[in-house]
Amino acid sequence: MLTKRIIPCLDVKDGKTVKGVNFLNLRDAGDPVELGALYSQQGADELVFLDITATLEKRKTLVELVKRVAQNINIPFTIGGGIGSIEDVSACLNAGADKVSVNSSAIKNPVLIDQLSKEFGNQCIVVAIDTRNVNGKNLVHSHGGTKPTDIDTIVWAKEMQERGAGELLLTSMDHDGTKAGFANELTAHISSTVSIPVIASGGAGNMEHFTDVFTKGKADAALAASIFHFKEISIPELKAYLKSNDICMRT
């Protein structure tokens, strides 16, 4: 059995870590590099940094942030936000990122994932999928969750794998920030449909939610923000809890 991963997510806006509910009402959670270094020390398996308004504001991901993170953190990290070309990915990887996360640009131009995978290898290409239930259908959203599309989430996940994504970051906008648990049914459906790793995101509120997403949701990794940023759960105690529940964790 492959070990499961715990991944703190740092949503970055104007150089600060922020967190909201259902992608709205953002509040300041501190310096992203300091928080990232703390999580690294505490045993996080990976980190994800998302410049959440980069696409919305039509500007590039902060390469300077990547450099700062790389200088202070010794675990793998993914950077996302406004990445839309081979040049963008190259700049982020050269600045020290291990992976890049692509969302809106893939929706606008799906062939981009083919190109990025061919150029850099699929191991560093993460496709982020922001999804929301609209009239009974799970539909993909772009531009930081602000623009709905008519793309079915399951169909999109399969296409992204076929085009060369090495991993999927699945965020349920309906669950995001609610602390009511992950979207286990949808996560399990996608995990059973694709053969690449699926990172579940949105809804973590307690340690039991992580057990559920790894067992019922069949996720390969679980991503969370608020509960770590505001010190509601520590990574060491979460990992100990999961191990006690027979979830295979990295030490």
What residues act catalytically?
11, 130
Cβ contact 140:130 at 8 Å:
yes
Q: CA-to-CA distance for 152 and 184, rounded, in angstroms? A: 17
CA distance 166 to 112: 14
Which helix (DSSP H) or strand (DSSP E) does residue 210 occupy? helix 207-215
Q: Which residues of 85-112 are buried (b: 16+ CB within 10 A; e: fewer)?
A: eeebbebbbebbbbbbbbbbbbbeebeb
**Residue that is written with structure tokens 């062939």 in the block:** 111
Cα–Cα dist 54/191, whole Å: 28
Give the sign of the dihedral formed by CA 182, CA 116, CA 37, CA 21: negative
